[in-house]
Amino acid sequence: MAPLWQRGVGGIPPRRQRAPSLLLRDPASMLGLGIVLVTVAGASLAPWLATHDPTAVNLEQRLLGPSGQHLLGTDHLGRDELSRLLYGARTTLGAALVVLAVVMGIAFTLGTISGYFGGWVDSVLMGLVDLLLAFPGLVLAVAIAGTLGPGLLNLLVALAAVWWAGYARLVRGMVLAARQREYVEAARAMGASPLRIMVTHIWPNILGPVVVLVTLDLGWIVLGISGLSFLGLGAQPPTPEWGAMLNDARPFLQTAPRLLLAPGAAMVLIVLGFNLLGDGLRDLLDPRLRRL
């Protein structure tokens, strides 16, 4: 059976009603969705949930254990760990969303141009994609971020620069398939410009599947951001960020292992959440895999 998004209208019940209800019945996906929603809520409500200023240094209260005042204790500069964790979720998830938006922007623009026009434009763009995919992604990202210099913005540039290639190829493939469809033919016959056909006719039809595939990847993006931040290439002190917090915790592995465990557990949970949700969504899109 064709993937869900390729199925015709006739004879098959509209998927928009079926897909979400199927997802709701899958406990693993629901767990993933729950984790993601809770984390997003924690990140967005950080200013109201946090009990302390995440960057307020208090050297008299350094490395305190959990207490009523500091639920998760304090770090090596006496900053409230829980507040840093909440604000850190903002940095990490916000950065992931920015990378995602930029990657989608580039991938949709170049992928559509490549797939719609074909010819030498296609050859050049897909040659560039092949080339970028010939690099181990994280290695190239580390090198770009390292060359541009440490900083959150440079990190985002580096990740977006290596991440768009795979999606551009994906979008191109879907545009190629969409070009053959009757609705594009009809739009062209009515005299719609290529830009109009691409943006108002093709994009709405391929947006859903691509977004779902990206969800599968969000966990990887989060891992990339915090991994590079862990190396010191991303968010700079005192900005709270989970990867940077883990790096800060390294010298205190022996004396205060909870400084490692709190952001570590948060990282594992959010990546697990994205993976569970992504798996569920992918199974919906590719019913062949559902029984697995």
Partner 1 sequence: MQSYLMRRLATLPVMLLGISIISFTLLNLAPGDPADILLRLQNPGTEPPRAAVLEYRRELGLDDPLTWRYGRWLVQALMGDLGDSYRTGRPVALELAQRLPATLLLTSASLALAVGVGLPLGVLAAVWRGSLVDGASRLLGLLGAAVPGYVLALLLILLFAVKLHWLPAIGHGGLQHLVLPALALATGSAAQVMRLTRASMLEALDQDYVRTARAKGLGETAVVLGHALKNALLPSVTIIGLSLGHLLGGAVIIETIFGWPGAGKLAVDAIFLRDYPIIQGFVLYMALVFLLVNLLVDLSYRWLDPRLHFGRQKG
Contact positions vs partner 1 (CB under 8 A): 127, 130-132, 134-144, 146-150, 219, 223, 226-227, 230-233, 243, 246, 249-250, 253-254, 257, 260, 264, 267-269, 271-272, 275-276, 289, 292
Strand partners, 80: 74
CB 281 to partner 1: min, Å: 15
CB 148 to partner 1: min, Å: 7
CB 144 to partner 1: min, Å: 7
CB 210 to partner 1: min, Å: 20
Classified as helix, coil or strand, 8 is coil
**Separation of alpha carbons 127 and 125, rounded Å:** 5
CB 36 to partner 1: min, Å: 13
Nearer to partner 1, 140 or 170 (CB): 140
**Separation of alpha carbons 227 and 139, rounded Å:** 12
Token reading at 55: 């960057």
Nearer to partner 1, 170 or 231 (CB): 231
Nearer to partner 1, 112 or 154 (CB): 154
CB 229 to partner 1: min, Å: 10
Nearer to partner 1, 86 or 228 (CB): 228
Nearest to 226 by CA among 258, 256, 269: 269
**Separation of alpha carbons 286 and 273, rounded Å:** 20
CB 143 to partner 1: min, Å: 4
Nearer to partner 1, 176 or 260 (CB): 260
Beta carbons within 8 Å of 162's beta carbon, 6+ residues apart: 132, 135, 137, 140, 141, 144
248-256: long-range contacts, CB 8 A cutoff, minimum separation 24: 248/75, 248/76, 249/75, 251/76, 252/63, 252/76, 255/63, 256/63, 256/73, 256/76
Beta carbons within 8 Å of 208's beta carbon, 6+ residues apart: 5
Nearer to partner 1, 184 or 267 (CB): 267
Nearer to partner 1, 22 or 272 (CB): 272
